[in-house]
Chain A
C-alpha cells in the first residue's frame, strides 16, 4: 500500500492581499543605498502638477548631470529644475549645482554660480566646447535653451545669445549631446525636439477629451505637431552655426524626440546619433563622414519593436552587453510594454533581443533614465533603469505601481542573458519614485558606479553602490589635445583577464542626463590590465600596457599618463 502524505488545503485560504516576494534567488553582491539626505540633497525638483497634469508639458520631467565641473577629481551634481502651471507658474527656481566636497556630501552653490535660468528645464549635456579645460553645460528648455560656459571656480556664464543658440519662439527642446560630428576637434551640439507647446492650440485635459484607462488626462503627444532635431556646428570662435539642413538632419521624418545618444555604432570612428522618439519610429542618424547624416533607423532595425510596433521611446543607453566589440542599444518605453535591447550585429544592422536576453519579465513599468554599466565589476555591463508614470492621475486607480514606480536592475549573467536583481539590490532600488532623469558615475571615487535620480516633485535620490565583494576595476579619464578636450567620442579598448571590453566617452544619453565622462571597466578577478588602447577622435591611437587595477587613470592624448590612487574596493 503506497504511503500518501498530503497537506490539507485550509492554510492556503489565508489572506490573499499581498503577493510575497519571488522565489529565493541567488544573492547578488551589489547593494544601493539612497544617501541623498546625508549628502545634502534636500531640495525637491519641481515639475508640473503633483496630482494632476493639464498639459503634456507637465509630464516630461528633468535630467541630471554627474561631472567634475571644478576639476577637483570628484563628480559634481547638476540637477535640472522645471516649473509649474498651477496654481501659478514660476515656482520652480533655477537648476541646482551641487559641488562634491569629496567627503560624501555636496554643497549647494547655485546662488553664486551664474546658473540662474528658471523655467521648464528639460535635459542637460556636458562637454568642454571651447577646450579651455572646464566642462561646459547645455540645458534644454521649453522656452529658450541655454549654453553655460564654465569659467572655473564654480562660476558659469550664460552665453546662449552670443553663441548663436537662442532661437526665436518657445521651442520644446529635449535630449541633447555635445558631439564632434565632423571630427575637427571642436564639440558640436545635437538636440532633439519633442513637440510644439502652444497653449492657444493645445486643449487642456478638461477640454481635450483625452483619457487613459478611463481617467481624464493631458493630451498628447498624439495629434500634436511633430518636429525635428537640430544640429549646430561649433565654429571655434565661441559661436555655433545651425547646420540642421546642410547636415541632412532635417531630412528625417518629423517626430516626437526625447532621449538622445551620440556614439559610434558602426565602429568607423565617426559618431552616429540615436534619438528615442515617443510613439513614432526612433531615429538613427548614421554619420556619412562628410559632414552629413542619413537617418536610417527603420532599416537598421532600431526604430520599432521587433514586430513593427511604434513604441514610446524615452531614455536610451549604449553598451557592449555581449562583448563582441560593438555597442548595443537599450531603450526605455511606456507602461505595459517592454524596453528594447537591440543587439548590434554589425553592418549597420541590429537585432531586437529583449526577450531572448531575459528582459521580458518587467512589463508594467514606464521607463525613463537608463544606463548600461558594470555595477558588479564582472566585465559585463548590467542594465539599470528608473520608472514613473506620466499621469499623476493614475494614482486614482487602486494601483500598487501607480505614479511612483520601482526601479529595475538587470544583472548581465554572461554576456548573453540578464537576470532581474531589482529585489536583491537594496530597498532604495525598490522604493517607488516618479523618476525621470538618471545619471551614472562614481561619486565617491571608490571605483564602482553610483546613480543619481531626478524625480518630479520630489527630492532627488543618490543611490550609492555599497557593494562589498566586487571584482577589480579601472577608471579612465581622458584629456584630448588634438581631439576635443573632453575626449567625447574617444573609444577605449581594455584588455584584461583574457577579455577585451569597449567603452566610449559620451555626452548626454540616459534620459535627459549626463553620465560621468570617465570610463569605467569592471575587471573581475584580473588584477591588471594588459593593454589599454585609446582611439581618439583625432585619429590618434595610444596604447598603454601593464596597468594595475583599481585606480583612476588620467590619460592625455598622445602623451602623459597619471594615476590617481584611490582607496579602491577591488579585491
Chain B
C-alpha cells in the first residue's frame, strides 16, 4: 500500500502555465502543499466560472486534502455533471468514495474511468482494491468469506467474477458491473462473466441488455444448463417461441438421471417450458411438461422422505431401539429402494433383532447397489457368520479387506471367524493386524 501512496502522491501535480488564472494559482498552491490557500483560490475560480469542470475537480482535490470528503465528493460529482467524460474527476471520485468507505460506489467510479480510459492503470488498481474492500464488507455481513487479502494488486477474471457474484447477492449492482466489465476486458470470451453481467442487468431491470449478455454467455458455453434456462426463460417473456426453442435446448442439455432435489435442472426446464407453452395457449404441450415436472418432483420428494426415515432409523439405532429403527428404515427402503445406506442400515437393525435371514437380504440388496463397500461387506459377513455360514463370511471379509486393508472391524471379525473354524494361526494373524488398526477383542460377540 505504501508503494501505491508514493505513486499516487507523485501523480499530484499542477502546471502553472497560466499562473495568472485563479485555477492555475490554485493548482500551484496545491502542488506546493498548501491546500487551505488552494481551497480559497479555487473557490474563487469556481465562483467566477461555475461550469468549469477542471476548477471543480481541483477544488475537490483541495477539499480532499483537508479531509472534507463529503464536500469533495460533491465537487467531483459537479465536475462530472459538467463533463461526464472527465476521467480524472471520475478517478478522484473513486478515491474519495473509497476514503468514505463507500467501496461499492468507488468500484463503480473506477469502472467508469476504465470505460473512459481503458489504459488508466491506476484506475484498474483502484478498482481491484475497491472490489476487494466491497466484497470484504459484504462477506463480513454474510459471513461466507473471511480475511480478505487487501493487498492492492490486479485481479484475475475468475477472481473478478467471484467478487461480482458476491456483490450481486448483496445487491451491489454497480460494483458488480465494474468487476465484470474488467473481467470481460481481460477475457472477452469468459462465459461466466457474460452470464453474471446478464444477471446484473436483469436484476437492475434492464431486460434487453440482460438478454444480450445471456445470449452471448449461452453461445460461449452452450452446455451450461443454468445459462441456457435463464436465457430461455427471460427470452420467453418477450419472444415466447424463441424462448421455447432455447428452453428446449436447455432441457436436452439437462442431466436425464433421477431427480435429486428441488434444484434438479430437468424439472426446472419442464416447469419453465410448461409455463411458456401455456402462455402461447398450447395447453396440451404445457400439461405434458407439467406432468413430467411433477413426476420428477414426486421422485425427488420420495428420496427426500426416504432420507428423513433413514436419519430417523439411524437415530433409533443409536438410541438402542432396533425395532423402531427397522420400521423407519423399512419405510425409507420402500420409498427409495435403491439407496444403499438405507438398505445397509435396515440390515444392521435386523441384525440387532437377530433376524439374520432378513438382515442378509438387506445386505445383499445394499451390495447390489454398492458392491465395493467394505462396511456393507463386513456387516453382511457378520450376519452370515451368525448363521453359521462361515466360509461365505470369510470370503466377504477378505473382499472387504482387499478394498480397505486397514479396516479394523473387518480384521477383527475375520479373526473371530478363523478362530471359530479352529484356524488359530490365521486368527492370531488377523488379531494382530486388527490390533494395529484398532482395538479388537476376539472374545466379544461380533
Contacts and interface: CB of A to CB of B under 8 A. Distances in A.
B12 A8 contact: yes
Interface stretch (A18-26, A96-104, A477-485): A18-26
B409 interface: no
B37 to A, nearest CB: 16
Contact of B98 (A11, A364, A417): A11
Contacts of B91: 6-7
B318 A226 contact: no
B122 interface: yes
Given A8-B11, A16-B136, A299 B100 contact: no
A9 B126 contact: yes
B268 to A, nearest CB: 4
A17 B203 contact: no
Interface in A1-34: 1-20, 22-23
Given A14-B101, A222-B262, A398-B140, A363 B275 contact: no
Interface stretch (A72-80, A112-120, A301-309, A446-454): A301-309
B170 A363 contact: yes
A301 B126 contact: no
A268 interface: no
Interface in A40-68: none
Interface residues of B, number: 105
A219 B314 CA distance: 15
A3 B137 contact: no
Nearest to A224: B308
A380 to B, nearest CB: 16
Nearest to A207: B315
B101 A15 contact: yes
Given A5-B30, A222-B304, A299 B169 contact: no
Contact of B203 (A201, A219, A355, A400): A355
B92 to A, nearest CB: 5
A363 B15 contact: no
A336 interface: yes
A310 B142 contact: no
Nearest to B134: A19
A552 B94 CA distance: 52
A360 interface: yes
A157 interface: no
The main secondary structure of chain A at its interface with chain B is: loop
A202 interface: yes
Contacts of B294: 253
A10 B27 contact: no
Nearest to B16: A3
Given A5-B30, A5-B92, A308-B272, A336 B278 contact: no
A209 B143 CA distance: 22
Given A19-B103, A399-B142, A3 B95 contact: no
B365 to A, nearest CB: 22
A13 B129 CA distance: 9
Contacts of A301: 275, 278-279
Interface residues of A, number: 70
B443 interface: no
Contacts of A208: 308, 311-312, 315
A308 B229 contact: yes
Interface string A326-366: 00000000001000000000000101100111101111100
A12 B143 contact: no
B318 A399 contact: no
A4 B13 contact: yes
B357 to A, nearest CB: 28
B268 A11 contact: no
A360 B205 contact: yes
Nearest to A22: B105
Contacts of B359: none
Contacts of A170: none
Contacts of A363: 168-171, 203
Contacts of B9: 8, 10
Interface string B131-143: 0011011101111
Interface string A347-390: 00101100111101111100000000000000000000000000
A35 interface: no
29 contacts: A1-B17, A2-B15, A6-B11, A7-B12, A7-B92, A8-B95, A9-B126, A11-B95, A11-B98, A12-B95, A12-B106, A12-B130, A17-B101, A18-B101, A19-B102, A19-B137, A202-B308, A219-B308, A226-B301, A281-B271, A299-B278, A300-B278, A303-B271, A309-B271, A356-B207, A357-B205, A362-B171, A398-B146, A401-B142
Given A12-B99, A308-B229, 14 more contacts: A4-B13, A5-B12, A6-B95, A9-B95, A10-B9, A11-B69, A17-B140, A208-B311, A209-B307, A210-B311, A307-B233, A308-B233, A363-B169, A397-B143
Interface of A: 1-20, 22-23, 201-203, 207-210, 213, 219, 222-226, 253, 279-281, 298-301, 303-304, 306-310, 336, 349, 351-352, 355-358, 360-364, 397-401, 417
CB-based closest 7 A-B pairs: A12-B98, A308-B272, A207-B315, A360-B203, A308-B271, A223-B304, A11-B99
